[in-house]
Structures are given as structure tokens and as C-alpha cells.
Structure 1
Amino acid sequence: MSNTVKLVVATHNAGKLVEIRRILAEDLGEDADRIELLTAGELNLPDPVEDGASFEQNALLKARDVVRRTGLPAIADDSGLIVDVLGAAPGILSARWCGRHGDDVANYELLLAQLADIPDRNRTARFRCAAAFVTPEEGQSEAPYGIHNENVELGDMCGRIIREPRGEHGFGYDPIFVPNDQPQRAKESGEELTSAEMTPEEKNAISHRSKAIQALVRSIRRALID
């Protein structure tokens, strides 16, 4: 690409890149073409240890790590499921709730077992995302590069946990989570959808990640485009 600026998405997940590209395209319009999105995976960057005590801390440490290694601006997010009756768990442990990182089915099956005796009225929950945008100091020629500025925004998608998984889309806890905000087709049919039964476009319109990244767009535009 010519006349573009590079922005690194601090992930090795190609699906997350597609989602973030879609969000930026919707919010930046034609200006989105001026940003070349790369991933940490494409740059062969290691995953940093996510030892933060909150979504915000983990998002920042991932973005900072990319900036210090590459000298390029970076965007990162950290997200998880908060279940009210469990005192905000699984929270930052969502991806490894069962003891193994990334085993989606084992994670949500354990959560369902833990909530088995909880009545439907008390199964409220929310997905929360913290999105961080970090820019490097200018004029440096080698790593570790300094940090110039950083912003963090939060987004929530509220809903409830059902008792059996439904749907083939999405990932993580999507098959057992019914968002409060439903697409028009669900309202017309009277049958609420899980996140995993929604199309990517329907989920993207209400998702916690969309809300958090959309809140960063002003900072991204100011730093990279204006």
C-alpha cells in the first residue's frame, strides 16, 4: 500500500483481525484504506505474559509490548465473561476457566455445571472488552522503542447465561450467552438468539469489542490520519 500508515493488531488470531478491520471500516469510512493492518503473528512477535489484574492492564501490556518491539502503533484488546452470581468470574480467566487455555467447550461446560442450580433470573452476565491504542515515541531508531501515548476504552455486552449451548458461529462462551440486544429478525420471530446463532454482522453491531474499539476511533484518527 502507498500513502498508508501501519497499525499492528496485537494478536495471533486472524479472526480478530477481520473483526477489527470491519469495525474500523465502518467507523472510519474511506479513511480506513489509509491504515495498513498487521498482526503480531504476521510479524512473528511472541505473545507477552498476560499477568495483569484487569482487562485494562492486559490490553495495555499487549499493546505496549508490540510498540516497544516494533516502533509501530498498536491496538490490543482483552475480553472475557463476567457472571454476576459468581462475583464477576470467570473474568480475566475466561479463556482458561477449565484449566486449559482456549478449550472453549470445556470452559463453557464447566461454567454451566457451576450454574446448574442457579435460577434463570439470577443468571445475568456480560461480556466486557478493554481495547488499548498505544503509539510510539518518534525519532527512535532501535528497540526497545519508547511509548508516546496510550488510551484504553471499555465496552460491555449484557445478557444472560442459558442452560444448553446453541449455535455454530462465534467462539468462546457465545453458544451459552443470550445478549439483551437482539437483531431485528429475533424480535420479529420472538425467539432470542445466542451470540453463536447471530451472523458476524449482527454480533458486531452489539458486541463489547465493537463498542470498545469504536470508542478508540477518535484517538486512532487523530494519531494516524489527521
Structure 2
Amino acid sequence: MPETPDAAATGPRLVLATRNAGKLRELRELLRGQVPGLDVDTQVIDAETAGAPDVVESGTTFEANSLLKAREVAAATGLVAVADDSGLAVDVLGGAPGIFSARWSGRHGDDGANLSLLLAQLADIPAAQRGASFVCAAALAFPDGTAHATFGELKGSLLAAPRGSGGFGYDPILKPLGSDLSCAEMTSEEKNSISHRAKAFAALLPHLVDALR
């Protein structure tokens, strides 16, 4: 196992390669209490706090993008880095928006515009054919470039209109299989117990615990 930087008790130990406040909050909760001695509120920071540069997501898959981000942020900060690349895969669109989920409307991170465009594109699609999944690839990287990647999926169907005020991204329109709620209507605990990101990070957790011991 590669050596990790020697950090002070209250100093950063892990960088999440994101500037998305929602993802940082969600991933902190997923990690809370899972890594012995890790204070997620002070020792898990985002890329902006760490002074890491923006990483161009030039990969053609979720896994490639997550590994790219984790490796570049780890190299830039000298800390263990975690990244994820996630999005929505719609069956009738052949898996799109996919890796373009955050910029489907042409404006990166504009959740409202992305939702509106996708719903308009699916306006004539009946409920029985609105299958979709949230997918996530998570990656853990060390400053020397060593890395691990894992995958998670949350299957469901797309609503005809947004519901709920929680979450972020496409949460208001994805209804997980077996649930009557959209992801945005769930509590954070309910969502984290089944989410694509939770599944990907659960698989990554043993590597992360080893890295931060």
C-alpha cells in the first residue's frame, strides 16, 4: 500500500475531487463513522479547499473520468484523493445523458436547465418505457498514481415532472424501483441507503480504510 502524507490530527487527510457542495455533503455522510479516526467534517475537504486545479473530464466512461480526477487531484495535493463520476442513463436514449449528465443542456451544473431539457425530450414517452438508472464510478488514488475504481447503480423510472426539494441533479425525477418517492423526496438517510454512489463507495470503502489507517 502506498505511503500517505503525514497529516496533523486536525489537518486534511482526504480530498474529494469535487466542487459540488451536494456531493461533498453526501459523501461525508457516507464516510461518517466508517474510517477509524477520521473526522469527516474537518479532514475530508473538497478540491477547491485543497487548492487543486480543475480537471478536464476527457474520459469516455464514468470509470475513466473518476480515475482521471482522483489521480490528478492526488498528484496536485499530495493527499489521498477520492473522486466519482456519476450521471443518469436513460434506457430509451441509449444510456444518455450518461457522462454528459451535468452539462446536458449545454451549461455545466445547471440542474434546472438539464431537467427541463430531458423532460421535454421524453415528453411523449409512456411511463412503461421511462426506465433509467443513476450510475456511479468511484475511484481512490494515491499521489504516486496507484488507484482503485468501483461501480454502483440505482435502477428506477423517470417521472413526468420534478417532485421533492432534496438532493441535487436529477434526483427530483428519478423514482427508484420499489419506491413511491423520487430521490428528492427521500431523506438523506433513505437515499444514501440505496444510492448508486453509496454502492460504489461501499465497494471502495475497504481500500479507503486501509489508506487512512
Q: Cα deviations across residues 128-174 of structure 1 (Å, max 9, x unaligned)?
A: 011000012xxxxxxxxx32x21000010110001111111111111
Query: Are 2:51 and 2:77, in contact at CA under 8 Å, matched by a contact in 1?
Result: no
The 5 Å alignment of 1:114-125 reads 114-125=121-132
Q: Cα deviations across residues 87-119 of structure 1 (Å, max 9, x unaligned)?
A: 000000011111111111111111111111111
Amino acid at match of 2:184: A
Query: Are 1:159 and 1:179, in contact at CA under 8 Å, matched by a contact in 2?
Result: yes
CA distance, structure 2, for counterparts of residue 71 and residue 107 of structure 1: 35
CA distance, structure 2, for counterparts of residue 118 and residue 31 of structure 1: 50
Q: 2:38 aligns with which of 32, 36, 58?
A: 32
CA distance, structure 2, for counterparts of residue 56 and residue 204 of structure 1: 21
2:26 is the alignment partner of 1:19: yes
TM-score by length of 1: 0.85
Query: Are 2:87 and 2:101, in contact at CA under 8 Å, matched by a contact in 1?
Result: yes
2:174 is the alignment partner of 1:177: yes
Tell me the equivalent position of 1:61: 68
CA distance, structure 2, for counterparts of residue 167 and residue 5 of structure 1: 34
Tell me the equivalent position of 1:189: none
Aligned to 2:156, the other structure's residue is in SS state strand
Tell me the equivalent position of 1:156: 153
The 5 Å alignment of 1:1-226 reads 2=9, 6-28=13-35, 30-33=36-39, 36-136=43-143, 146-147=144-145, 149-182=146-179, 192-225=180-213
**Could you tell me the percent identity over the aligned residues?**
53
Shift, 1:32, TM fit = 3.4
Moved beyond 6 Å, runs of 4+: none
Amino acid at match of 1:195: C
Query: Are 1:104 and 1:173, in contact at CA under 8 Å, matched by a contact in 2?
Result: yes
CA distance, structure 2, for counterparts of residue 181 and residue 25 of structure 1: 27
Aligned to 1:27, the other structure's residue is in SS state coil
RMSD after superposition = 1.8
In structure 2, relative to structure 1, the CA distance for the partners of 1:126 and 1:26 (3 Å cut) is farther
Equivalent residues, number: 205
Query: Are 1:81 and 1:94, in contact at CA under 8 Å, matched by a contact in 2?
Result: yes
CA distance, structure 1, for counterparts of residue 10 and residue 212 of structure 2: 11
Any stretches of 5+ residues in structure 1 without a counterpart?
137-145, 183-191
Shift, 1:64, TM fit = 0.8
Shift, 1:202, TM fit = 1.1
Larger radius of gyration: 1
Aligned to 2:52, the other structure's residue is in SS state coil
CA distance, structure 2, for counterparts of residue 167 and residue 85 of structure 1: 24
CA distance, structure 2, for counterparts of residue 61 and residue 47 of structure 1: 11
